[in-house]
Structure 1
Amino acid sequence: MVGPKRISRVRLFACVLLVILFCCTFARAAETESSGERALLAKHSLLKAKLDKNQFGAPIYLESLEGQDSVRVDMYGIFHYPFEAVREALQSPTAWCDITPLHINIKACVYKTTKQQTQLTLYSGRKYFQPPSDAYPLKLAFRVASSQPDYLELALVGEEGPFGTKDHRIGVQAVPLEGQGTFLHFSYTYSHGTMARMAIKTYFATLGRDKVGFTLVGDDGKQSYIDGVRGAVERNTMRYYLALQTYLDALKYPEGQRFEQRLNRWYDLTAKYPRQLKEIDKAAYLSNKKMERAQQEALQAKQGN
Structure 2
Amino acid sequence: MTDTLVRAVTTDGNFRAIAIDATEMMAEVAKFHEASQLGTTVLGRALLGSLMVSNAILKGDERLAVVINGDGPAGKIVVEASAQGEVRGYVTNPTVELPLTAKGMQDVAGAVGSNGFLQVTKEIGEGDPFTGQVELMTGEIGDDLTYYMAKSEQIPSAVAVSVLVDPDGTVAAAGGFMISALPDASDEDITALEDKFANLPSISSQLVEGHTPMDLLFNLFGKDDVKLLATTEVALYPEISKRDYERMLATLPMKDLQEMLAEDHGVEIVDRFTGKKIQFDEAELSGIIAAKDAEGL
TM-score range, shorter chain: 0.3 to 0.5
Look at both structures and tell me which one has the larger radius of gyration over its CA atoms: 2
